[in-house]
């Protein structure tokens, strides 16, 4: 297969949703249909000790939630599919935002009973910013939920995107009988089972009397009325507005019961985009260019607890990546060679000899990489990263076991490189402050320090309002500011000056008093 065909057959996408909408379950079922796994893990069931393939960190198995983005690749029909399963919990939103820079399209999972939730709205804003094409999967149709038309109105209003149903449910909850697949003109009948696959019947003419035999008279009348209404209200499906991020196709199903997932996947591989051009600061990088380029969008420590190793996840943007070839690390301006680049199936990984645009490769990292770094065949290209945001919660981190201070320091350094949270070192007392977006991150950090590094830590409260990065062209004023605000000053892990304001009043006063200092609430990588 030639280079262009390899690019065309790639589909790299993220699955995003509010926690508990069934995102990880959907990921599992997609892997099942792709033949990548042979038994689906019951994510929340304690009876079955298998947990979801994509939730492989110990803390994820215990809590039944995803706390880190995992990458999975498999072949389906003639396509190479790369799924990035993201954390739904808002405390880990930054990991998800960064992941969205590495995908070409997105599937949003929505719970039929709860509708569009806060976290989904936030993530949709990021997709809109990047004009990322979106498909919506309305999950849990076998449970009582909202009316499908009401759900479509809610998706349009809340996510500010036009919708077009490509499948339509026949009833809901206890009376759920299946869906009519508008994309393939098929009737998919529902059997509640986690093991069997949808029974599909080709059904071009919805007015044919045979419909009554399958779903009964009342449901046949209702389905015909609904489909007439859909054709009247929504424009016919066209791939162009979908690819431009203006229209979201909508599917209905039940991921837990394998229902509607194969239909979603079959349509997805046909309409979703192959790798798209990526905007760098210098120019637009197109996937079909011959010279290699890619960027690091995630770093993960301890994927294998037996080896204290970090892995940098690189999204390939152009050209072919090859093992044992020298590539330029743009920020360090030095050549690096990788003898064991890996492809992923959650934490199972295998060494790859080559990879193409759209693929995600894992590179062993001994401290060379930061999130946002570029790798190229020689050209100086800087890909636009997503910034890290000013944290909202702060705590001092203290060593609870003096014998393990080395392990604790190493653990903190590696976890901060992952982008799990942000580290600030107080200039006044030299103590380490961890800043996060949510409380759950503190628990995850403490848990991982103990179980992955053998380091016991404890938290001490600190009352802070905001951390902001400061810079100025007026060196004298900057030095004066740092002297006067000494008790509020810290540095981040890259040595940049950070002002820790303990109230909005203090911050406002500082901004008023020092006109030549710029206060930043995000730090570009």
Inside any domain, residue 462: yes
Phi then psi for residue 494, to 5 deg, are -100, 10
Q: Are the CB atoms for 287 and 277 separated by under 8 Å?
A: yes
**Are 416 and 365 found together in one domain?**
no
Rounded to 10 degrees, what is the CA torsion of 230, 232, 237, 243?
-100
What's the pLDDT band for 194 if we cut at 50, 70, 90? Answer: low
CA–CA separation, 9 and 355 (whole Å): 13
Mean pLDDT of 474-490: 91
CA–CA separation, 460 and 394 (whole Å): 9
Residue 366, domain extent: 278-376
**Are 434 and 466 found together in one domain?**
yes
CA–CA separation, 140 and 259 (whole Å): 10
The pLDDT, as a whole number, for residue 431 is 93
**Are 392 and 473 found together in one domain?**
yes
The least confident of 36-45, 208-217, 265-274, 498-507 is 36-45
428 or 384, which is more confident: 428
The tens digit of pLDDT for each residue in 76-87 reads: 888 998 888 666
95 or 493, which is more confident: 493
Mean pLDDT of 148-155: 93
**Residue 203 clears pLDDT 90, i.e. is over it:** no
Q: Please, what is the end-to-end C-alpha distance for the chain in angstroms? A: 37
Inside any domain, residue 193: no
Mean pLDDT of 487-498: 90
CA–CA separation, 69 and 182 (whole Å): 32
DSSP 503: S
Q: Which residues of 286-322 are buried (b: 16+ CB within 10 A; e: fewer)?
A: ebeeeebbbbbbbbbbbbeeeeeebbbbbbbbbbbbe
Q: Which residues of 114-134 are buried (b: 16+ CB within 10 A; e: fewer)?
A: ebbbebbeebbebbeeeebbb
**Residue 29 clears pLDDT 90, i.e. is over it:** no
Mean pLDDT of 361-366: 85
**Are 166 and 122 found together in one domain?**
yes
How many structural domains compose the chain? 3
Inside any domain, residue 194: no
Cβ-proximal residues to 514 (8 Å cutoff; 6+ apart), any chain:
472, 477, 480, 481
The pLDDT, as a whole number, for residue 138 is 93
**Are 258 and 290 found together in one domain?**
no
Percent of the chain with pLDDT over 90: 32
Mean pLDDT of 106-115: 91
**Residue 347 clears pLDDT 50, i.e. is over it:** no
Cβ-proximal residues to 463 (8 Å cutoff; 6+ apart), any chain:
502
The pLDDT, as a whole number, for residue 192 is 64
* Element at 232 (helix H, strand E): helix 217-233
**Residue 357 clears pLDDT 80, i.e. is over it:** yes
**Residue 335 clears pLDDT 90, i.e. is over it:** yes
Tokens 């400061």 found at? 470
DSSP 220: H
CA–CA separation, 305 and 451 (whole Å): 9
**Are 259 and 287 found together in one domain?**
no
CATH code of the domain covering residue 36: 3.40.50.300
Computed from CA positions of residues 87, 89, 91, 96, in that sequence, does the dihedral angle turn out positive or negative? positive
**Residue 259 clears pLDDT 60, i.e. is over it:** yes
The pLDDT, as a whole number, for residue 89 is 45
**Residue 46 clears pLDDT 60, i.e. is over it:** no
Which residues in 219-373 belong to E strands, given as ranges? 247-252, 278-279, 284-285, 293-301, 310-318, 321-322, 326-329, 334-337, 342-345, 348-351, 354-355, 360-365
Candidate ranges 340-344, 384-388, 452-456; pick with highest mean pLDDT: 452-456
* Element at 501 (helix H, strand E): strand 497-501
DSSP 426: E
**Residue 393 clears pLDDT 60, i.e. is over it:** yes
Q: Are the CB atoms for 143 and 156 separated by under 8 Å?
A: no
**Are 439 and 365 found together in one domain?**
no
What's the pLDDT band for 437 if we cut at 50, 70, 90? Answer: confident
Inside any domain, residue 515: yes
CA–CA separation, 323 and 354 (whole Å): 6
Inside any domain, residue 192: no
**Are 342 and 419 found together in one domain?**
no
Of the three residues 350, 376, 402, the one that is the final residue of a domain is: 376
The pLDDT, as a whole number, for residue 68 is 45
CA–CA separation, 173 and 449 (whole Å): 44
**Residue 67 clears pLDDT 50, i.e. is over it:** no
Mean pLDDT of 19-24: 78
Mean pLDDT of 230-245: 90
207 or 374, which is more confident: 374
Q: Are the CB atoms for 387 and 96 separated by under 8 Å?
A: no
Inside any domain, residue 221: no
What's the pLDDT band for 217 if we cut at 50, 70, 90? Answer: confident
Angle of CA points 310, 311, 312, to nearest 5°: 125
Mean pLDDT of 6-28: 85
386 or 200, which is more confident: 200
Mean pLDDT of 29-56: 52
The pLDDT, as a whole number, for residue 135 is 95
Inside any domain, residue 38: yes
Q: Are the CB atoms for 100 and 130 separated by under 8 Å?
A: yes
Cβ-proximal residues to 472 (8 Å cutoff; 6+ apart), any chain:
478, 481, 514, 516, 517, 518
Mean predicted lDDT score pLDDT of the chain: 82
Cβ-proximal residues to 58 (8 Å cutoff; 6+ apart), any chain:
447, 451
Mean pLDDT of 199-211: 72
The pLDDT, as a whole number, for residue 329 is 93
- What is the rounded radius of gyration, in angstroms, for the C-alpha atoms of the chain? 25
* Element at 422 (helix H, strand E): strand 422-426
CATH code of the domain covering residue 454: 3.30.70.3280
Mean pLDDT of 130-136: 91
Percent of the chain with pLDDT over 70: 84
Q: Which residues of 456-468 are buried (b: 16+ CB within 10 A; e: fewer)?
A: bbeeeebebebbb
What's the pLDDT band for 88 if we cut at 50, 70, 90? Answer: very low
CA–CA separation, 330 and 369 (whole Å): 10
**Residue 271 clears pLDDT 60, i.e. is over it:** yes
Cβ-proximal residues to 515 (8 Å cutoff; 6+ apart), any chain:
none
**Residue 281 clears pLDDT 70, i.e. is over it:** yes
The pLDDT, as a whole number, for residue 387 is 57
Of the three residues 349, 376, 403, the one that is the final residue of a domain is: 376
**Residue 195 clears pLDDT 90, i.e. is over it:** no
**Rounded to whole angstroms, what are the CA distances from 371 to 38, 296, 331, 342, 523?**
34, 5, 11, 18, 12
The pLDDT, as a whole number, for residue 308 is 55
210 or 132, which is more confident: 132
Per DSSP, the three-state class of 302 is: coil
**Residue 98 clears pLDDT 70, i.e. is over it:** yes
CA–CA separation, 149 and 171 (whole Å): 12
**Residue 91 clears pLDDT 50, i.e. is over it:** no
**Are 253 and 307 found together in one domain?**
no
Of the three residues 331, 354, 376, the one that is the final residue of a domain is: 376
**Are 345 and 253 found together in one domain?**
no
The tens digit of pLDDT for each residue in 509-518 reads: 999 999 899 9
The pLDDT, as a whole number, for residue 297 is 85
Cβ-proximal residues to 301 (8 Å cutoff; 6+ apart), any chain:
308, 309, 310, 414, 415, 417, 418, 452
Nearest residue to 357 (alpha-carbon basis) of 296, 276, 272: 276
**Are 407 and 515 found together in one domain?**
yes
The pLDDT, as a whole number, for residue 8 is 93
Instruction: Record the pTM.
Output: 0.75
**Are 122 and 27 found together in one domain?**
yes
Q: Are the CB atoms for 497 and 468 separated by under 8 Å?
A: no
The pLDDT, as a whole number, for residue 240 is 94
């Amino acid at each position: 297969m030639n280079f262009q065909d390899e690019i065309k057959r790639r589909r790299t996408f993220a699955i995003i949703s509010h926690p508990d909408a069934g995102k990880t379950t959907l990921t599992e079922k997609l892997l099942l249909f792709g033949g990548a796994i042979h038994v689906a893990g019951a994510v929340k069931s304690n009876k079955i000790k298998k947990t979801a393939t994509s939730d492989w960190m110990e803390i994820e198995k215990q809590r039944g939630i995803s706390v880190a983005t995992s990458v999975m690749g498999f072949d389906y029909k003639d396509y190479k599919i790369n799924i990035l399963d993201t954390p739904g919990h808002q405390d880990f939103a930054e990991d998800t935002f960064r992941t969205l820079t590495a995908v070409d399209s997105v599937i949003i999972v929505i719970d039929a009973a709860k509708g569009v939730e806060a976290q989904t709205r936030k993530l949709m804003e990021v997709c809109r910013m990047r004009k990322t094409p979106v498909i919506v999967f309305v999950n849990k149709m076998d449970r009582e939920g909202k009316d499908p038309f009401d759900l479509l109105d809610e998706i349009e209003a809340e996510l500010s995107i036009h919708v077009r149903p490509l499948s339509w449910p026949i009833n809901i909850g206890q009376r759920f009988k299946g869906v009519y697949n508008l994309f393939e003109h098929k009737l998919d009948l529902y059997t509640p089972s986690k093991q069997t696959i949808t029974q599909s019947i080709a059904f071009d003419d919805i007015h044919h009397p045979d419909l009554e035999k399958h779903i009964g008279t009342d449901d046949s009348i209702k389905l015909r009325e609904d489909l007439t209404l859909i054709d009247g209200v929504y424009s016919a499906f066209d791939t162009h507005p979908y690819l431009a991020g203006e229209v979201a196709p909508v599917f209905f199903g039940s991921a837990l019961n394998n229902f509607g997932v194969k239909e979603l996947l079959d349509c997805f591989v046909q309409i979703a985009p192959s790798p798209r051009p990526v905007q760098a600061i210098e120019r637009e990088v197109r996937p079909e260019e011959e010279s290699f380029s890619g960027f690091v969008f995630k770093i993960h420590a301890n994927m294998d607890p037996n080896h204290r190793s970090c892995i940098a996840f690189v999204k390939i943007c152009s050209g072919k990546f090859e093992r044992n070839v020298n590539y330029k690390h743009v920020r360090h301006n030095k050549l690096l060679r990788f003898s064991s680049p890996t492809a992923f199936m959650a934490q199972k990984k295998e060494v790859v000899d080559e990879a193409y645009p759209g693929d995600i490769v894992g590179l062993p990292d001994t401290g060379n990489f930061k999130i946002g770094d570029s790798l190229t065949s020689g050209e100086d290209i800087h890909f636009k990263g997503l910034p890290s945001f000013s944290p909202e919660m702060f705590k001092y981190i203290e060593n609870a076991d003096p014998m393990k201070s080395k392990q604790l320091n190493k653990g903190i350094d590696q976890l901060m490189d992952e982008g799990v949270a942000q580290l600030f070192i107080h200039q006044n007392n030299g103590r380490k402050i961890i800043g996060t977006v949510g409380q759950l991150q503190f628990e995850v950090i403490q848990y991982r320090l103990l179980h992955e590094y053998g380091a016991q830590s404890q938290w001490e409260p600190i009352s802070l309002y905001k951390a902001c990065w400061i810079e100025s062209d007026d060196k004298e004023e900057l030095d004066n500011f740092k002297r006067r605000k000494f008790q509020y000053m810290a540095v981040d892990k890259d040595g940049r000056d950070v002002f820790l304001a303990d109230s909005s009043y203090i911050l406002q006063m500082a901004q008023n008093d020092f006109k030549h200092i710029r206060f930043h609430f995000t730090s570009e990588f």
